[in-house]
Amino acid sequence: MELELDGVNPARKWAAAQNAHRRRVQQLAPTEAQTTYLAAKTDTDLDGHGQIRGLPPGNYWISSLGLTAAAGDARLQWDLPIKIETNRTVRIELTNLNATDNLSSKAR
């Protein structure tokens, strides 16, 4: 019975459409984020330290924009919200504790 219904079952076409959409979003999202929403950008030194100065108070989002960082056998990405208050210094340490594992997020 299942073999006869295989031709009318939309599951394969639906899965292919979802995968195509996911790939397109993954390609467009970093460009959109950098052209529309980018407030600041930094690179790290050899010790992993980076600084951003002069951001006005407000709510921000720290993201690796879909790029992964190798940490041992894990491939990590960061997406976390922060709030900058007037006359306050904010220190954020990006570690594997506040990261998402790229391999497990792709399995969803």
pLDDT in tens, 25-82: 877 777 777 777 788 888 777 776 788 888 899 999 887 776 666 555 566 777 788 8
* pTM score of the predicted model: 0.55
Phi/psi for 79 (5° steps) reads: -145, 100
Neighbours of 94 (CB within 10 A): 18
Q: How far is CA 44 from CA 20, 88, 105, in A?
A: 34, 22, 25
Measured at the CA of 67, the angle between CA 92 and CA 18, to 5 degrees, comes to 120
Residue 58: predicted pLDDT: 92
Answer whether residue 10 shows pLDDT above 90. Answer: no
